[in-house]
Structure formats: C-alpha cells, structure tokens
C-alpha cells in the first residue's frame, strides 16, 4: 500500500446512495516532500500542475487531492487547503505561522453519470478526507475518488500497491502507488476474465476464470480518466519526480487496454519524502521500473476490490 512509505497518510470521503456515487481521496505528505507530475490523455482536469514543473519556484507539496465530480470536483482541494492551513502547513508567505499557502496539486475524474446532477464533491469532501487520513491500511474499491469510477465495462475504484527496491537495510527504498481507476480501457480480457495486471504480478491476482462471454459487450464512456499518486521515501529532485511519474504511466499501459485515449485525462503525481538517498542513476532507474509495476498492480487491486454499483457490475460479479 502507498502508506508503506513512511510518513504518507491517506484519507477518503464519499457518498454512495440517495442519488450520490462520488467521493474524494487525499494523500498527505510529511514536510519537505518534493513533487512532480505527468499528464497524458486528451481530457485532463487538474489544478496546480504547472507549479510542479522543474523550472518553477516551489519544490515541495503538502498533499495531493484526487476527486470525482469532473471539473466541479476540483473544489474539494479548497477543503484540503483549509485543513492544512489550520495546521500551519504550506509555503510560508509571512512572519506569522498562519501565513502559509498549502501546496495541493489536484486531479479529477469523470463520474457524473453515477450521481444525480448537482451531486459532486465540494470543499467539505476534501476537509473530511484529511480529517480521516491515517498511515494504516488503505481502503480499496468503491471508496473516496473511486466511488463512482468505472474501468471499461466493469466497476472501477481505488487501488494501491507497494514494493521495496534495493538491498535489505541500507539502500532499501519503498515505492508505493494509489490510483482512482476510471478508465475508458478494459482492465480484464473480455474473453477470459484475466486481469491484464496479472501479467506483471501473477501472485497478486486470481487465475483467469476462463468463462468466455461472462462480460457483456463493453459500453465505453466518452469521459473517463485515471488519476493517482506514486510515493517514495527516496531523495529525489523535481525533475526526477517527474520522471518517476512518467514511468508510472507505463504501468497504466500494461494494466489497461487501451490507455491514454483522447477521452482520458490520465494524470499521475509523484512525491518523494527524501528519507533515503539514491546513490546513482542506475538505482534511480530501478525506482522508475518499480513505479511502473506498482501502478499496474494498483489498477488490478482497484478492479478486484470494487463492488457493483447500480447496473455497473464489479469484476467479482461478472467473473466469479
């Protein structure tokens, strides 16, 4: 899980039922965490991503906000900023400890058809998700930003995974990912039920059921988007964080078919807490390879953990 990276906290808030199927997920970082981003696909919904470009002033991030609600859901980040500001977290702009601007890059996914019109996350969702954040096990499936998500013809959701890279003890670095999977592409082979992510980590996922035709013909949504965070306790620059996020997109391409379509706004953030040095470019390249793997695994866990919502069937209901 992404919370295997020391100091990283995750909180969800969602509403499901009564005309609602949407939510917000917040990833909180320790002070001094460096951030980067890489966005692909033709339909992004983001906030504060330009700030993360290597040539721009602010290097650190306080949190990342992932939300449903399409562009309306960007308002959830206002609540994250308020929660952080009340605690003096942010880029200091004055002498008083309250005079800070929290740095909260954000991305949204399109889940509007799963709720009644007007029911989308606002600032209260972001604030409540922060209040619920912890370093413990992360709830997966139909929670937070994944509440109204879909993955091709199946129910999508929140998924997370992690791995340790390097020698045990000295030099060992943790890389984790958390994704809200709301993809145009399929996460499972429609003929066999095999999760595409199983090719990356067969030990994580059940064998393919092998029952052809269990899935109905895919009905693609025209507005989708996978959003997520890759976190590590490595010491990285902004440019290296961007490279880590870029590598994570390889994992999306392995676990979703197709990925990065014109109708997706796939956005991955990367965050490095700086607790462990990375000795050389070869070691950093290993982190990038790990990022791709944990992203692919997180996609699989999101789909495997989801439950059916309305007429949108879960993987478990379609194939088990």
Q: What is the pLDDT of residue 219?
A: 57
85: enclosing H helix or E strand: helix 76-85
How many whole angstroms separate alpha carbon 28 and alpha carbon 60? 12
- Collect the ranges in the chain with pLDDT lower than 70: 167-171, 210-222
Q: What is the pLDDT of residue 220?
A: 55
> What sign does the CA torsion over 10, 163, 39, 226 have?
negative
3-class DSSP assignment, residue 83: helix
Q: What is the pLDDT of residue 163?
A: 97
Number of helices (H) and strands (E) in the chain: give both, helices first.
5, 14
Both tokens assigned to 56: 């721009």
| pLDDT tens per residue across span 107-153 | 999 999 999 999 999 999 999 999 999 999 999 999 999 999 999 99
Where does 2-319 sit in CATH, by number?
3.60.70.12
- Residue 261 CA: distances (Å) to CA of 37, 98, 268: 18, 43, 15
Q: What is the pLDDT of residue 213?
A: 47
Contacts by residues 48-55 (CB-CB < 8 Å, ≥ 24 positions apart): 48/77, 48/103, 48/104, 48/105, 48/106, 49/105, 49/107, 49/267, 51/103, 51/105, 52/105, 52/238, 52/241, 52/242, 52/269, 53/238, 53/242, 54/237, 54/238, 54/239, 54/242
256 and 248 Cβ atoms separated by less than 8 Å: no
Task: Pick the closest to residue 125 from 45, 190, 68, 86 (CA basis).
Answer: 68
Q: What is the pLDDT of residue 311?
A: 85
């Amino acid at each position: 899980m992404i919370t295997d990276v020391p100091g990283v906290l995750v909180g969800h808030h969602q509403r499901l039922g009564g005309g609602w199927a949407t939510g917000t997920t917040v990833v909180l970082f320790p002070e001094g965490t460096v951030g980067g981003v890489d966005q692909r696909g033709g339909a992004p919904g983001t906030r504060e991503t330009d700030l993360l470009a290597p040539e721009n002033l602010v290097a650190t991030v306080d949190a990342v906000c992932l939300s449903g609600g399409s562009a309306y859901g960007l308002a959830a980040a206002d609540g994250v900023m308020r929660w952080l500001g009340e605690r003096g977290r942010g880029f200091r702009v004055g002498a008083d400890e309250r005079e800070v601007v929290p740095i909260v890059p954000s991305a949204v996914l399109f889940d509007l058809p799963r709720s009644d019109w007007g029911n989308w996350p606002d600032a209260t969702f972001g604030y409540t998700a922060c209040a619920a954040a912890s370093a413990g096990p992360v709830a997966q499936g139909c929670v937070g930003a994944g509440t109204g998500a879909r993955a091709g013809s199946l129910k999508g959701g929140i998924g997370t995974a992690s791995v340790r890279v390097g020698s045990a003890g000295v030099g060992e670095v943790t890389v984790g990912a958390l994704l809200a999977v709301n993809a145009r592409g399929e996460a499972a082979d429609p003929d066999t039920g095999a999760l595409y992510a199983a090719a990356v980590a067969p030990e994580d996922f059940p064998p393919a059921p092998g029952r052809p035709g269990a899935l109905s013909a895919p009905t693609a949504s025209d507005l989708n988007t996978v959003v997520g965070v890759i976190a590590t306790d490595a010491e990285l620059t902004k440019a290296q964080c961007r490279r880590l996020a870029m590598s994570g997109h390889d994992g999306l391409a392995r676990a979703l078919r197709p990925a990065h379509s014109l109708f997706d706004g796939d956005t991955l953030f990367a965050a490095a807490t700086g607790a462990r040095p990375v000795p050389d470019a070869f070691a950093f390249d290993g982190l990038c390879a790990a990022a791709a793997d944990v992203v692919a695994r997180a996609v699989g866990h999101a789909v495997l953990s989801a439950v059916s919502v309305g007429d949108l069937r879960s993987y478990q209901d379609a194939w088990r």
